[in-house]
Amino acid sequence: MSAKICAAGRVGPLALVFPGTSSDDNRIPGMLVNMCAPHLANGATGIGSGRFADFFFDDLISYVDRHFPVIPQGRAQGIVSFSPGGAMALSVAARRPDLFACAGAYDGTFLYACDRWRRIRCHG
């Protein structure tokens, strides 16, 4: 079905990027924030350094802009994800509206906290 929509000219070309934002060994989820103590990564570089947000904003987006035929500077870029990633997609778009024209969250996990984010609210 999607091939018919593209062939009909209803949707233009797309560049889809699916980054992983966890540690190199996939044991530590990144959640698109930098770790509190990235210096403990013992000199690791890239995403394994614990600087997940830096990797995403400084390295990945600029890499895609340089190497793929995309419309730069956020005028046509969107971000979307599922579950906790959905919450991060909205957070990222809110933090950097210069980079994203739209955002989506599918089954986003939104943790409504109390006590200054020390615990999750269990009821309304």
Output the tens digit of pLDDT for each of the chain's 124 residues.
456 766 777 777 778 888 876 666 766 666 777 777 766 666 655 555 677 888 888 888 889 888 888 886 667 888 888 877 888 888 888 888 888 888 888 876 665 555 555 555 555 4
pLDDT at 28: 65
pTM exceeds cut of 0.75: no
Q: How far is CA 28 from CA 9, 67, 77, 82, 108, in A?
A: 42, 28, 27, 18, 19
The Cα–Cα gap between 88 and 105 comes to 8
Where exactly are the structural domains of the chain?
1-70, 75-124
Phi-psi region of 19 (alpha: psi -120 to 50; beta: other; left: phi over 0): beta
Two structure tokens written together for 2: 């999607």
Radius of gyration from C-alpha coordinates of the chain? 17
Note the helical H segments in 1-83.
2-7, 52-54, 61-67
3-class secondary structure, 34: strand
Q: Can you give the pLDDT at residue 42?
A: 66
